[in-house]
Amino acid sequence: MRQYFITGTDTDVGKTVASTALVNAFAASGSKVAGHKPISAGCELVSIGDQAVGLRNEDAQLLMAQANVELPYDVVNPYAFKEPIAPHIAALRTQHEIQMSVLLENYADLANYDLDVLISEGAGGWMLPINGRHTLPDVIKQLDIDIIMVVGMRLGCLNHALLTQQAILLSGLNIAGWIANAPETQPFFDENLATLTARITAPLLGVIPHVQDATSAASHLDISLLNQ
């Protein structure tokens, strides 16, 4: 099973747009693929009739909608918190702690499914604290998963992208590719894109403009570059 962890250069830079597009693109290529959101914050309590099902995250549900392998929600999103805040703070406010062991067990469980590709979407930016001792990269390092970096093409993107790249590489992990998310026209977009293309040591998988759905977003990606 090929695994990719999707990280962003900041929060709200288009990780879910990119992640759902990647799931869609792999499914269209004939791969058995699923999306994965190990930690989410910003969930709604869902009920069926009078029976509460549990907290559900919109990003996780969007990933599930693009997958062609059906997984239980709790496997797709093992840690879900109601408040849309930093997950380790949301956990503390509910008298819980996000544990590395649970996340590692979750990844081990995913390996038991008949999958060709797993797309895991992170939360926030790269250096996400998960508890008082660990960050999410501590988990990813143990798994040695390739990284796909999503850059929100807006003011400050050069600094954010290059710092994120530096932190990932210092972790000893491989950046398999990067995606430029550009839902709005920004001044000097071409110049910023050229700068990042020259300085990011991984292929540009595509530029995603403002789109209406994952299929449209996927049409702007070249996943064959991940095989290089």
Active site residues: 37
Pairing of strands 146-152, 51-57: unpaired
Residues 6+ apart with CB under 8 A from 96: none
Closest Cα to residue 221, out of 177, 190, 169? 177
Start-to-end CA span in the chain (Å)? 17
Q: How far apart are CA 69 and CA 32, in angstroms?
A: 6
Report how far apart, in Å, the C-alpha atoms of 155 and of each of 13, 16, 189, 195 are. Answer: 12, 20, 10, 13
The three-state DSSP-derived secondary structure of 111-165 is: CCCCCCEEEEEEEEECCCECCCCCEHHHHHHHHCCEEEEEEECCCCHHHHHHHHH
Q: Which of 23, 38, 218, 5 is CA-nearest to residue 115?
A: 23
Distance CA 188, CA 201 (A): 22
